[in-house]
Amino acid sequence: MSELRTRDVVDADLPAVLAIRNRSFGPLGAGGDTWWQRVSSETLGGRMIAVVDDSDTVVGAGRIRPYEQAWGGRHLRMGGVAGVYVEPSARGQGVATTLTRALITRMGELGDVVSCLFPTTATLYRRSGYEVGGVQTRMTYAAHLLRDLGASPAARRRSGGLRPARPDDARRMHDLHREAHARHGVSGPMVRSAPALADVLGRDELIAYVVDGGFVVYDLSDGTVTVEDLVATTPEAAATLWGVVGSGSSAAPTVQTFLDPRDPVTLVLGGLPAVAVQQIPWMGRVIDLAAAFGERGFPPHTTATVDLLVVDAEAPANAGRWSLSVSGGRGTATRTAAQAEAATGRGGAGTHEGGAITSNAEPGADGGVLCVDARGLSALWCGWTVSRLRQAGLATGGTADDDAALDAVFAGQPFITEYF
């Protein structure tokens, strides 16, 4: 293939991008045209990138969807990589890798400090510094168990104002979602913007109810209820909303949820979830360590300072030696040595070998600082313990105290509720 380059997708490219998409995944189904127009309009103008050959023919494309994502209960700008399409006749010629690296660079330019995606192949994205961060979990419940919550003592002290949600409820629903993430200190889930939520409510594609202090959004099709969002600030609000979800148990006996695997409903339900639990892995990446670390939330009683050396060729903002400090629920990442060698992955304290990282730092050399590559940094960010990173060849150097400090700083069980 001729030399590849990247550029922004423009309106005139959309038919070619859609054709590549259809040759890769099959034609769009019912309603596909509306979906395509919506996702295209969301990402045109800087968030959709094409790979072209020297004749400017599009041979691949990908989108960066703009999201807010909770980390330690605080919301960070996240680029959701989706719609990565490669012309089948151009596969195996570096198109996907060229595209992924361009998307990472663009996210840095846009101010997205972290990124997530649902991979079709892990190998491709690992080459660009992504690593498995968590799962999207689907739990299945018997609807009558949820219906019974609506008749519980909590529900009898019913929250007021139960009614169908309207587009003008979107701002309050958005705020309730953000408040819930902060209250529980969760990592991973995203929250729809108020305009996006208003658009969902206006299209009337999903069923939504609000009460004082909560809301639920769900789908009903083929005899199954699928809960996409349920937020409640009180036991009364939760019982009322779950009661509404399960109220049609005679017609829809099964309820699926895409929520926090530790949603409090598990603690109050009069039975256990069904054994049919499905988990879909997702991958994460740190785009800008200093900004992401400074915006992330941390347990308020955790206090730690630890050095970390990062090798990251695709995101130079991450590369170098850092002092990570956490106190009072906030964190700071201060670069202590830029180290051009670390930025390029050549020489210095760490080098790439066979997909893992090999440290040249012996105890006492460069302080024996813990060293990770982009994959190791992404896994660390998502709560993988340093001992596991070492076993996978993604971390070297450092001390047992360093390991313990980093494990405490990044502790968590990230999850995502929305597939994109």
What's the CATH number where 152 sits? 3.40.630.30
| Residue 109 maps to a domain | yes
Please state, in angstroms and rounded to a whole number, the distance separating the CA atoms of residues 81 and 68.
Answer: 13
Asked if residue 145 and residue 190 are part of one domain, the reply reads: yes
Asked if residue 181 and residue 109 are part of one domain, the reply reads: no
Label residues 175-206 b or e (16+ Cβ within 10 Å = b): ebbbebbeeebbbbbbbbebeebbebbeeeeb
| Residue 180 maps to a domain | yes
Task: Return the pLDDT at 296.
Answer: 98
Asked if residue 342 and residue 249 are part of one domain, the reply reads: no
pLDDT band at 78 (very low <50, low <70, confident <90, very high): very high
What are the pLDDT digits (tens) for 263-296?
Answer: 999 999 888 777 677 899 999 999 999 999 999 9
Task: Return the pLDDT at 273.
Answer: 78
pLDDT band at 318 (very low <50, low <70, confident <90, very high): very high
Asked if residue 44 and residue 69 are part of one domain, the reply reads: yes
Mean pLDDT score, 324-345: 78
Q: What is 102-146 written as a DSSP string?
A: HHHHHHHHHT--EEEE--S-HHHHHTTT-EEEEEEEEEEEEHHHH
Q: Which CATH number fits the domain that encloses residue 394?
A: 3.30.1050.10
**Which strand (E) or helix (H) includes residue 284?**
strand 278-286
| Residue 420 maps to a domain | no
Asked if residue 212 and residue 144 are part of one domain, the reply reads: yes
Task: Return the pLDDT at 414.
Answer: 97
Comparison of pLDDT for 29 and 74, the residue scoring more? 74
Closest by CA position to 265, among listed 328, 313, 322, 216:
216
Task: Return the pLDDT at 351.
Answer: 41
What the block records as the tokens of 410 is: 């990044």
What is the average pLDDT value for the chain, to the nearest integer?
Answer: 90
Asked if residue 149 and residue 123 are part of one domain, the reply reads: no
Res. 14: pLDDT tops 80 = yes
Q: What is the pTM of this model?
A: 0.89
**Among the three residues 280, 303, 321, which one is the final residue of a domain in this structure?**
280
Domain that holds residue 84: 5-129
What the block records as the tokens of 138 is: 């689907």
Asked if residue 354 and residue 249 are part of one domain, the reply reads: no
Lowest mean pLDDT among 24-28, 69-73, 107-111, 343-347: 343-347
Structural domain count of the chain: 3
Q: What is 344-387 written as a DSSP string?
A: HTSSTTEEEETTEEEE---TTGGGG-EEEEHHHHHHHHTT--HH
Place of tokens 């009072």: 328
**Among the three residues 103, 129, 155, which one is the final residue of a domain in this structure?**
129
Asked if residue 275 and residue 148 are part of one domain, the reply reads: yes
Asked if residue 9 and residue 119 are part of one domain, the reply reads: yes
Res. 204: pLDDT tops 90 = no
By residue count, the chain amounts to 420
Asked if residue 102 and residue 71 are part of one domain, the reply reads: yes
Q: What is 130-196 written as a DSSP string?
A: -EEEEEEEEEEEEHHHHHHHTTSHHHHTPPS--EE--GGGHHHHHHHHHHHHHHHT--S-EE--HHH
Please state, in angstroms and rounded to a whole number, the distance separating the CA atoms of residues 275 and 135.
Answer: 17
